[in-house]
Amino acid sequence: MALLFRKKKEDEVHKGDLLVTDGIYLKPAVMRNGNIILNCFLRALIVFFLVLGSIGGFLSAFGISYNYLMVIVIYLILSMYFSFLYASSRFIYRDFGYIIFFALFVGAIYLLRIYANSGFYTIVNEVMEQAKTFFNLAGVREYEVQIDNSFLTVSIVACFIGLVMIIVLNIWMYSIMSMFWTVLFTFPLLFIPIYMKLSPDPMYIAFMMVGYLAVLIFKANGHYVVFAWDTPLKVRGIRKKRVSYTQDSVIFRQIIISLSLLSMCVVFLAGSIMNPTSFERKFKSERLWNKTSDAIGNFILLGFSSFFNMYPSTGGMSSGRLGGISNVRPDYMTDLQVSFVPHGNEGIYLKGFTGGIYGDNQWESLYSKDDMGKNDQAVFEEESLKKEAEILRDDHGKYSAKGRMIVQNIGADTAYLYYPYYTLFDDYTIFNNRNLLASTQGIGYGQDAEYTYYPKIEWEEKSINKIPKDIDISKVDKVFLDVPEKNIEVIKNICNEIGLNDSMTEREIVDAVTLFFEENYPYTLKPGRTPDKEDFVNYFLTSNKKGYCAHFASSAVLIFRQMGIPARYVEGYAFSMEQVFASEEADWLDPDDYYEGYSALGDAPVMQVEVSDAEAHAWVEIYVDGLGWTNIEVTPGSNEVTEEDDFWSAFAEIFQGRLGGNDNNGDGTANALGQLAMGRFAGIIYIIIVLGVVVLLVAFIRIIMRKARRYRLCNQKNMRDALIARYADICDMIRLCDENFDSLRSHKEQLVYMNERYEAKMDVDRIKEMLERMSFHDEYLEDSRNEELAGLIAFIRKQIIKKASLKTKLKLWGR
Amino acid sequence: MKRIRNIIRYIVIILLDIFVMVVFHSYINFILLVGLVLFPIYSLVGVSRARDKVSVKIETPIEPMVKGEEFEVRFVLSNDSWFPLVNVNLNLELSNAFYGNSGNHVLNVPVRAKKETEVTYPIVMEYCGRFHIEISEMTFVDVLGIREIRRDVNESSECLIFPNGPERNKEAGQIYLRGVTEALESKEKGYDFSDVSGIREYIPGDKLQNIHWKLSVKKDELMVKERVNLSAMQLNVLVDLANDEDMCAEAVLELADSITKAFVLQNLPFTVHYYSSNIGKIRGCYIGNEIERCNWMEMVLYDKCYNGDIGMEDAFLTENQGGGSYLYIGKINGQVIEEDAVFGDKMTGAVLKQQV
């Protein structure tokens, strides 16, 4: 007993000391301040290297220059600030430190918001520019930069982004020195230039290498974490005692210097062995890029929605279906390649779908579902303007001309032919545009269609100057004058609003409608979805009052019909002469093979035009007495220059919104609430979800690993050690249930507590003696006593779980 | 296990780097790969080079320390190579040679390149005795933690830990007078009541009690203290260093320290006897001043305690048949009459006994 008393007294006196052997204790030493400061500085240096390597590498890969001195100084200051803050001995310093930082951060954000905004857009523009070249994208957009001084603005945004990385990395560095998280936080940024085959400056690669290797070394050798409250001698291990001496910043410094020298040598060596160009040549396969460049290109343009590239979110043909989409997202990929000789300044319209009957928010063609195709030829002949083409072929006076156009389908809907106006087909029994039954009769992917057309170069204006009631409509199907019942009232009201009357000529009506739309109905690719049970045209004309080509064309058709002008809805592709002139000149093709006759442009070469889905269009054909069906453009021009809809824009808008940047609405709500449609944040939400899942997964794996380690300890062969581990385990469990348990230092106090709280009904003194014999004297108990103790511990364990609240049970499970 | 984990981690990193390099044709990863391939070479060469260039020295206090007092053990590791090592493991054995207990653990130290690394170990001994620290092996781990190289070393140091008995001047004076009176009354013996006048080499025939043990150990030859007789008055003190599970030897040493210290303070010469486990017989030592007392204490602590009753009192009586009284300091197990137990508790104490 005297021995036990002495032991107990010693335990009290030497609380926190390491018992080396009976009577010999290792006292905790005091950490030297100089060592803490140096250690913090060196740790900050690792974070600094990693962040500068990552962000600087990214910027250098894209050739974006910034103020090196400013960025380096700020990164160093921030790294050190957070490193010292994290290692600080008093939590109050930490709290105040973070509050001060937060106040400064908010102030900096407020003062520098325009600079940060501009810097961010400058970077995005540079990336998009590179992406445009790399992915051969036609339609990347450039963001307006408010401050042109990119040297300064990029530096500022680099500091803000670096700040976030520094905070996060600093935490990981101090807590687990994890290579996984270090790479995860620093390397993905470099994937963007890597994918585009751009290399950062070697200096930044060296920085990253120093950072990664330093993390590897300190992870592999123990953390050497130095907090101000730490002791330089840390005791690790239960069975085999191990004391680690952590107080040595010199070794930290020597390692970093060694790594820096080594990294510089490696970069120099690798650079002298192989430069990026010769390295690239070693790889013959471009399979990855071939397979993924389209998807990545789309991703750059559209964000995550590009992965769900269904009809409603894309451009291209809609086959007369209306209203099911909230916005049009062209992917700017080539749909058609058109080779022809331009002959005038007017845009080119390639007809695809022709809608005659309106109802249920869609246009239907005149191809009948019931006649087994008997009338298909007649419908197609009318739809393709055969008669008009024949007239032009036979007699167009001095403007007679004949053109040849080759249209290759690259990505357009294969249900249709895409032919220019006044095309004469060789065989009208073969071709038709009946998409319902014979979709395969369109142009298949990769296939060419060759058309002969007879351009109408000069209009006889008098023909269109008839008032509608004078039009001879006997040659036109009556269906082209039908206005559905539910639209009549709205259409009439609109006609009145426009000021249309029966005395107006076709030209006047067309002009009035076009002007009315232009003045009152803005063009947008994001009109929003037509609500269920609402009519597409009525909703557009009366409620929404904004839309894209299908809205204008559909409404105009019904207005024209209401006014007595036969009209129909057409979908296809339209492109301007500006686009033609900006296209590639097919100098290997002979223009004479493609065009003959009058041309307003004189001798023009054959042009090869890449027509993307952004050129997909809907327009109107009206019947003009004497001229037949004529295409009319009623869609106003787009004013959408700043309203962006891709991932980068959404991301940029968030950034802008947070910084209180541009306010498109002028009422202060644009970025705060007005445009916060969920769809816009889909990408961010996906990222958050993915990150959440990753975090959960990692947490789960960590829990499992901890459990496995605990299981191994508690079930080891050495029963004495196993029992000690089990007892420690139930003590840990109780600590989670009741913080006060921590204050019970002796075995006896703990056992009494267990007896009372968990109704263990044990002989406290006996069990205490057994525990102390095992713990302090390395004694082995008899098997029967081992079993008794094991049973008791198991019982208490069950009781702990049983008596724990749900919240505590979760804590117990997750420990 | 940790090494395997480090190796696996490193291989995984290299494989990932190669994967990114090959799949994305990434030049960055090519450079990183060169670094990742070269670095283990640096690491492994470094540890091999450093292995032979690292030396370790242990420094303990030269002067004896007092039990319960913190003292520092310094490990000085010097590395003459250019390679810093983050992990060098020293297999340490710390022991109290007097009680014969020892414990092992590993001290994990980073070793600076081209410099000395000094680690201070603050130690507290709860028992007096001879603190001995020894490094039998060093393990050098390369900076990547993938290879361990062992090297045998034989470096040790020790330090004496004296007991710290409380002051007992008054009681000691009384018992001395009583003891000496009784001794003179019974029979005068020609004890060597003298002072030290010098140190010289051992000459065969010299009294064993005059051997300066500590100096002899240091000089590796027997040294003796030359004495000048001062008085014939003396008291025999018999210290029984028998130990048990309650560490009674510790109490005995403490008591002996108190009493002898008090005697010396009051200039009361005496001869102290104890059983030496090292030589297997009773050893007597005349003490006239503090230096002699410290020497005697050192001599005792260089010895070992023993377990159980080995009949040392009988042996003492056999060797000293002159009669008179002597002061027994040892385990009394509560069998002594209350008034005889001069100090101590019921288990250990100092008892004035009369030779038969």
Q: Which residues of A touch B246 (CB under 8 A)?
A: 2-3, 6
Would you state the structure tokens that stand for residue B228, as one six-digit string?
């000048």
Q: Which residues of A touch B84 (CB under 8 A)?
A: 251, 254-255, 258
Would you state the structure tokens that stand for residue A9, as one six-digit string?
């007294």
Q: Are residues B156 and B31 in the same domain?
A: yes
The pLDDT of A311-328, averaged and rounded, is 65
Nearest chain B residue to A25 by CA distance is B124
The pLDDT-based confidence of A462 (bands split at 50, 70, 90) is low
The pLDDT of A59-79, averaged and rounded, is 92
Rounded distance, CA A110 to CA A90, Å? 30
Q: Which residues of B touch A23 (CB under 8 A)?
A: 96, 99, 101, 125-127, 129
Q: Do A6 and B247 touch (CB under 8 A)?
A: yes
Nearest to A251 among B22, B89, B110 (CB): B110
Q: Are residues B138 and B198 in the same domain?
A: no
* pLDDT at residue A310 in the model: 44
The fraction of chain A above a pLDDT of 90, given in percent, is: 14
| Residues 6+ away with beta carbon under 8 Å from A450 | A404, A405, A406, A407
* pLDDT at residue A72 in the model: 93
In the block, tokens 């079930």 appear at A715
Least confident of A613-627, A675-689, B105-119, B292-306: A675-689
Structural domain range at position B121 = 1-162
Q: Are residues B28 and B148 in the same domain?
A: yes
CA A367 from chain centre, in angstroms, equals 42
Please say if the pLDDT value at position A162 is more than 90.
Answer: yes
| pLDDT, tens only, A767-803 | 888 887 777 666 677 777 888 888 888 888 888 888 8
Please say if the pLDDT value at position A312 is more than 50.
Answer: no
* pLDDT at residue A762 in the model: 83
Q: Which residues of A touch B248 (CB under 8 A)?
A: none
Q: In chain B, which residue ranges form alpha helices assigned H by DSSP?
A: 2-24, 27-53, 169-186, 213-219, 248-265, 290-302, 312-319
Rounded distance, CA A41 to CA A308, Å? 48
Please say if the pLDDT value at position A679 is more than 50.
Answer: no
Max mean pLDDT range (A109-118, A521-530, B332-341): A109-118
B333 in reach of chain A (CB within 8 A): no
Contact between A364 and A320 (Cβ < 8 Å): yes
Q: Count of A–B CB contacts within 8 Å?
A: 185
How deeply is A740 buried, as exposed, middle or buried, from its count of CB atoms within 10 A (0-12, 13-18, 19+)?
exposed
Q: Do A219 and B9 touch (CB under 8 A)?
A: yes
Which of A216, A220, A194, A195 is closest to A205 using CA atoms? A194
Q: Are residues B127 and B14 in the same domain?
A: yes
Q: ipTM score of the complex?
A: 0.77
Rounded distance, CA A527 to CA A544, Å? 7
* pLDDT at residue A369 in the model: 60
- Looking at every residue in chain A, the average pLDDT score rounds to 79
Please say if the pLDDT value at position A672 is more than 60.
Answer: no
Q: Are residues B173 and B155 in the same domain?
A: no
3-state SS, residue B133: strand
A262 in reach of chain B (CB within 8 A): yes
| H or E stretch at B96 | strand B85-96
Q: Are residues B113 and B11 in the same domain?
A: yes
CA distances from B79 to A214, A673, B306 (A): 21, 65, 43
Q: Are residues B191 and B110 in the same domain?
A: no
Q: Which of B135, B162, B189 is the last residue of a domain?
A: B162
Q: Are residues B14 and B45 in the same domain?
A: yes
**CA-based R_g, chain A, Å:** 39
Q: Are residues B198 and B146 in the same domain?
A: no
Q: Are residues B144 and B184 in the same domain?
A: no
To test the contact with chain B by mutation, choose from A19, A25, A26, A777 the residue with the greatest count of B C-beta atoms within 10 A, namely A26
B38 in reach of chain A (CB within 8 A): yes
Q: Sheet holding B270-276: strands in order across?
A: B281-287, B270-276, B236-239, B325-331, B348-354, B341-344
Give pTM, 2 decimals: 0.56
Domains held by chain B: number: 2
Please say if the pLDDT value at position A57 is more than 90.
Answer: yes
- Looking at every residue in chain B, the average pLDDT score rounds to 81
Give the CA dihedral A715, A718, A720, A723, nearest 10 degrees.
0
The fraction of chain A above a pLDDT of 70, given in percent, is: 80
Phi and psi at residue B149, to the nearest 5°: -120, 135
* pLDDT at residue A552 in the model: 92
To test the contact with chain B by mutation, choose from A4, A9, A22 the residue with the greatest count of B C-beta atoms within 10 A, namely A22
Q: Do B122 and A29 touch (CB under 8 A)?
A: yes
Please say if the pLDDT value at position B211 is more than 50.
Answer: yes
Q: Do A22 and B101 touch (CB under 8 A)?
A: yes
Rounded distance, CA A468 to CA A504, Å? 8
Strand partners, A624: A628
- Separation in Å, CA of B55 to nearest CA in chain A: 17
Q: Are residues B341 and B194 in the same domain?
A: yes
Max mean pLDDT range (A9-18, A560-569, A643-652, A740-749): A560-569
Q: Are residues B129 and B186 in the same domain?
A: no
* pLDDT at residue A78 in the model: 92
* pLDDT at residue A648 in the model: 45
CA distances from A639 to A382, A410, A551, A619 (A): 35, 29, 16, 19
Rounded distance, CA A224 to CA A706, Å? 22
| pLDDT, tens only, A518-560 | 888 888 877 777 777 788 899 889 888 888 888 999 999 999 9
* pLDDT at residue A175 in the model: 73
For chain B positions 187-246, those within 8 Å of chain A (CB to CB) are: 245-246
| Angle between helix A719-737 and helix A682-714 axes, rounded to 10 deg | 140
To test the contact with chain A by mutation, choose from B10, B19, B25 the residue with the greatest count of A C-beta atoms within 10 A, namely B25
Under the phi-then-psi rule, with left for phi > 0, alpha for psi from -120 to 50, and beta for the rest, what region is A319? left
Helices (H) then strands (E): counts for chain B: 7, 18
**Residue A99: CA atoms inside 13 Å, Cβ hemisphere, count?**
6
Rounded distance, CA A243 to CA A234, Å? 5
Q: Do A262 and B123 touch (CB under 8 A)?
A: no
The pLDDT of A599-620, averaged and rounded, is 87
Rounded distance, CA A302 to CA B261, Å? 92
- Separation in Å, CA of B127 to nearest CA in chain A: 6
Q: Do A270 and B30 touch (CB under 8 A)?
A: yes
The pLDDT of A377-386, averaged and rounded, is 84
Least confident of A29-33, A155-159, A411-415: A29-33
Nearest to B144 among A194, A202, A217 (CB): A217
| pLDDT, tens only, B39-97 | 999 999 999 998 889 999 999 998 888 888 888 899 999 999 999 888 898 998 989 98
Please say if the pLDDT value at position A12 is more than 70.
Answer: no
Rounded distance, CA A751 to CA A758, Å? 10
The pLDDT-based confidence of A49 (bands split at 50, 70, 90) is very high
* pLDDT at residue A379 in the model: 82
Q: Which residues of A touch B247 (CB under 8 A)?
A: 3, 6
B60 in reach of chain A (CB within 8 A): no
A261 in reach of chain B (CB within 8 A): no
CATH number of the domain bearing residue B54:
2.60.40.10
Q: Do B31 and A2 touch (CB under 8 A)?
A: no
| Angle between helix A179-186 and helix A202-220 axes, rounded to 10 deg | 160
Rounded distance, CA A703 to CA A568, Å? 67
The pLDDT of B245-273, averaged and rounded, is 84
Name residue B243's amino acid: N
Please say if the pLDDT value at position A440 is more than 60.
Answer: no
Strand partners, A629: A623
Which of B67, B73, B145 is closest to B105 using CA atoms? B73
* pLDDT at residue A463 in the model: 63
